[in-house]
Amino acid sequence: MTLAIFFVFAAFAVLGGIGVLLARNPIHSALSLVGTMVSLAGIYLLHHAEFIFAIQLMVYAGAIMTLIVFVIMLLDVRHEEAETERLGFAKVFGMVLAGLMVVVLLVPLAAGLTGKPGGMTEEVLARVGSVEFLSEKLFTTYLLPFEIASVLLLVGLVGAVALAKKRL
């Protein structure tokens, strides 16, 4: 049952990804990306990661994609420039990287490689409840990275003001 739901979400995520690439209209690309984000959120939920699920929906599918759509609308880009049609260096490079990615994904499958199993098995995850567990980890073991992230956000804010504000 869970596996079936997973494959549904996974299929939608992949379809969305393909849609991003193939859509001629930037808004359609962005919408496909929203579809991928939402599907990913569903997959997170299947893994009992409720917090990541909500964040995925709020931050990625919600806020970030809204901003992207906002910018596309504001610039009123209806269709991609014809220039991107030809097979440029960037496209070849992108294809090579994508090919490498496929290899990296397929090799472990073929060789039966798995990562080192951690302490968080599905039973544990279902028991501890992801929000409590996550917050506890975040404020004890990972306190320093958490605080660095807050400085990082401050830097982003100040940087955006420095680059974009009309009169400083």
Closest to another protein by CB, 11 or 145: 145
Instruction: Give least dist CB 3 to another protein, A.
Output: 18
Alpha helices in the chain (DSSP H): 2-22, 26-46, 50-55, 65-75, 89-111, 122-128, 130-139, 143-164
The residue whose two tokens read 């049952």 is 1
Q: Which residues contact 35 (CB under 8 A, 6 or more apart)?
A: 12, 13, 15, 16, 19
Interface residue list for another protein (CB under 8 A): 25, 27-28, 31, 34, 38, 41, 50-51, 53-54, 56-59, 61-63, 66-67, 69-70, 73-74, 76, 104, 107-108, 111, 113, 115-118, 129, 131, 139-145, 148-149, 151-152, 154-156, 158-163, 168
Q: Closer CB to another protein, residue 3 or residue 74?
A: 74
Half-sphere exposure of 108 (CA within 13 A, CB side): 9
Q: Say if residues 30 and 46 touch (Cβ distance below 8 Å).
A: no
Judge whether 58 and 45 are in contact, CB under 8 Å.
Answer: no
Query: Least distance in Å: CB of 163 to another protein?
Result: 5
Q: Which is nearer to another protein, 76 or 85 (CB)?
A: 76
Question: Toward another protein, which CB reaches closer, 7 or 139?
Answer: 139
Our CB check for another protein shows the closer of 11 and 63 to be: 63
Distance in Å, CB of 26 to another protein, minimum: 11
How near is the Cβ of 144 to another protein at its closest, in Å? 4
Rounded to 5 degrees, φ, ψ at 77 are -85, 110
